[in-house]
Amino acid sequence: MRKRWTRKRSGVVAVALAAMAGLLLSLTAMVGPAHAATGLHVSNGRLVEGNGSDFVMRGVNHAHAWYPSRTGALGDIKAKGANTVRVVLSSGDRWTRTSASEVADIVGRCKQNRLICVLEVHDTTGYGEDGAATTLSRAVTYWTGIRSALDGQENHVVINLGNEPYGNTGYERWTADTKAAIVRMRDAGFGHALMVDAPNWGQDWSGTMRNNAASVFAADPHRNTVFSIHMYGVYDTAAEVRDYLGAFVNARLPIVVGEFGDNHSDGNPDEDAIMATAQSLRLGYLGWSWSGNGSGVEYLDMVTGFDPGALTGWGRRLFEGSNGIAATAREATVYGGGSSGTAPNGYPYCTQGGSTDPDGDGWGWENARSCVVPGGPAY
């Protein structure tokens, strides 16, 4: 998110049936990573840690590229209870390039503050519609240029290839371009979990990501790609939220809400439904954004002026409200924390991801008792 334009909503319902057919394509091609996992990875449609423990993102976005001196924000975000921060970087195509040394420092600060670090290139935002935006291919060139800062950080870092990589023009190329970007990253030696944003300014009103997610996932030789939907005005009803997220869960494809807010110029997103649905399905969410918004969307600031003591209404809702970060976040086990909790049917959640569910029925066996695989059929 940076400057967001009005999205088209036509086609949201029309693509639903076709989307299900696309998502259910060849589940056998999506079983486990094809290469030995060395850190955060996808297993049975879930994001898990290197030890197999389920990891559910609960966090916020932080605009480092525009406020590079505000590195103290990471500690403030952690203090509010987050387990993840999504950090805005720049490839240098639109804003000042975030150097390898800066990225290494960001990763170090994430680790110091016991946060999983999602790093994203923002220069791709709205490509095809916004003439200042750049391509996913250019974003990959950036990632390969700073690889030294990321090698060995697979337990702590998720690489979000490019923010909202198509607007509402030319988004039909999203599938091919995303596959090509993933393959280039793997060919360059990146073993990290990769995250890919939807087109249509992240909101996928066309169903392009939903329809083609299975083939994109299968194109990753590591089978280690997570999909990210941004929920603003297109998702202003609980039904739209549930339908979109549920489609991925039912197809055993990993999905997170990479951005969302409590209001927006393109409509009023249903943040209560987004948070409640993410919690019930044990899916990650990352609110936009900590502080520093401009261009008429200042209401999306969670704190005023980067002051952690000055929570806005949106900040209070996200951190302190029902299904909020303080109540639901669990620190990554790589830092000594972990998932916990009880499923709605009264059984505990499994904490070792898909490795506990060999027959795919949604039930596992841990600590000498049955457990529920989050998001699985038994849920």
Euclidean distance between CA atoms 158 and 243, whole angstroms: 26
* Nearest Cα to Cα of residue 196 among 250, 143, 232: 143
Catalytic residue among 154, 259, 271, 331: 259
Interacting residues of 347 by C-beta distance below 8 A, sequence separation 6+: 369, 370, 371, 372, 378
Q: Which one is catalytic: 102, 164, 271, 331?
A: 164
- Tell me the helix, strand and coil percentages in the chain, rounded to 5: 30, 15, 50
Residue 132: phi and psi, rounded to 5, are -85, -10
User: Strands (DSSP E) along the chain, which ranges?
Assistant: 41-43, 46-48, 58-62, 84-89, 116-121, 157-160, 193-197, 225-231, 255-260, 284-287, 363-366, 369-372
Place of tokens 């919690």: 279
Strand-pairing partners, residue 46, are 43
Residue 321 has φ and ψ, to the nearest 5°, of -85, -175
| Cα separation, 2 vs 365, whole angstroms | 45
Q: How far apart are CA 276 and CA 283, in angstroms?
A: 10
For residue 197, the SS3 value is strand
Integer Cα distance of 181 and 140 in angstroms? 6
**Is residue 259 annotated as a catalytic residue, yes or no?**
yes
Residue with the two structure tokens 């739209």: 240
Residue 342 identity (one-letter amino acid): T
Total residue length of the chain: 379
Q: Which residues fall within 8 angstroms of residue 279, CB to CB, at 6 or more apart?
A: 323, 328
- Residue 237 is which amino acid? T
Cα separation, 340 vs 51, whole angstroms: 15
Kindly state the tokens that stand for 229: 């939907």
φ and ψ at residue 298, rounded to 5 degrees: -60, -25
User: How many other C-beta atoms can be found within 10 angstroms of the C-beta atom of residue 345?
Assistant: 8
Catalytic amino acids?
Answer: 164, 259
